């Protein structure tokens, strides 16, 4: 569904509490929440691919759970016969938890996975080169950083954000949950932020989405459910 004025809005702390209560009080495994999210994102990604006549999908995965959503998304897009590549911003052995589970599944499925540079070379140049190898215009999926970000982005991740933005508009961008580099509470840019054409936000809109200027980074916003109880989302949401 499109994120309108009547859609619940959650703060960063409320999002953490939502995840915790889903697992602890409602016995919903966190990987089930991630799987539900990936299915919702895949639906919008496939529509975007068809609408724009894109020939490939490059999913840029960062170090945390946002990457796990991207990795789960890769599986569903592959099964839908989209040409998918996963571009890892971190070494495979650094992934943990649900993100590691989805990375392992992608590896065993034989999906195309591009590892990061072997040294601290310019990650921006690495991403430029990797995307250029796709040939046909690709959908870029931003699964770098999620709602937990609360400090300025720097180093390799900052370079990757710049490289993603440099590929627009030839390669449209879909951000998973929130454009990387955007503060979920304040709507401020933390160093730099991805400029998305579409943001598929998970569970509910984020508090910072309503801040003037955030729209320029978000593009169109749609909300994808994660299977969390509706009453729980409404209880944790900001006042209307």
Residue found by looking up tokens 């749609």 in the block: 222
164 falls within a domain:
yes
pLDDT (tens digit, 9 = 90+) per residue, 164-189? 998 887 889 999 999 999 999 999 99
Cis preceding-peptide flag for 169 (omega within 30 of 0): yes
In a domain, 140, yes or no: yes
> Among residues 66, 85, 87, which one has the least CA distance to residue 75?
85
**Chain segment 117-155, per-residue pLDDT in tens:** 776 667 777 777 777 666 667 899 999 999 999 999 998
- The encoded tokens of residue 195 equal 């400029």
Average pLDDT value over all residues in the chain: 91
CATH number of the structural domain spanning residue 149? 3.40.50.10260
Selection from 232, 195, 190, 199 nearest residue 15 by Cα:
232
**Is 4 part of a structural domain of the chain?**
no
223 neighbors 3 (Cβ within 8 angstroms)? yes
Span 186-213, pLDDT tens digits: 999 999 999 999 999 999 999 999 998 8
- Sheet order of strands, 138-143 included: 112-114, 84-88, 56-61, 138-143, 173-176, 198-202, 220-224
Q: Is 233 a domain residue?
A: no
Domain of 200 in residue numbering reads as 9-23+31-226
- Round to whole Å and give the CA distance between 231 and 146: 24
Q: Which residue has the tokens 């609408």?
A: 51
CB 157 within 8 A of CB 89: yes
Q: What is the pLDDT of residue 1?
A: 39
- Domain total in the chain: 1
Whether 76 maps to a domain, the answer reads: yes
Q: Given this model, what pLDDT does residue 122 score?
A: 74
């Amino acid at each position: 569904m499109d994120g309108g004025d009547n859609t619940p809005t959650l703060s960063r702390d409320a999002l953490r509490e939502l995840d915790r209560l889903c697992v602890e009080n409602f016995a919903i495994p966190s990987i089930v929440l991630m799987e539900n999210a990936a299915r919702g994102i895949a639906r919008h990604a496939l529509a975007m691919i068809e609408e724009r006549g894109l020939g490939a999908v490059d999913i840029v995965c960062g170090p945390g759970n946002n990457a796990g959503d991207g990795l789960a998304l890769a599986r569903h897009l592959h099964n839908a016969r989209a040409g998918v590549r996963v571009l890892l911003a971190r070494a495979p052995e650094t992934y943990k938890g649900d993100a590691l589970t989805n990375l392992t599944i992608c590896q065993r499925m034989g999906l195309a996975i591009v590892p990061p540079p072997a040294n601290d070379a310019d990650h921006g140049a690495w991403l430029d080169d990797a995307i250029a190898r796709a040939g046909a215009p690709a959908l870029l999926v931003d699964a770098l950083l999620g709602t937990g970000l609360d400090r300025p982005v720097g180093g390799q991740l900052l370079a990757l954000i710049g490289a993603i933005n440099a590929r627009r508009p030839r390669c449209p961008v879909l951000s998973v949950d929130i454009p990387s580099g955007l503060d979920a509470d304040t709507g401020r840019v933390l160093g730099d932020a991805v400029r998305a054409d579409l943001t598929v936000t998970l569970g509910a809109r984020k508090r910072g989405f309503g801040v003037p200027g955030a729209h320029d980074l978000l593009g169109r916003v749609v909300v994808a459910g994660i299977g969390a109880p509706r009453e729980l989302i409404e209880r944790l949401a900001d006042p209307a």
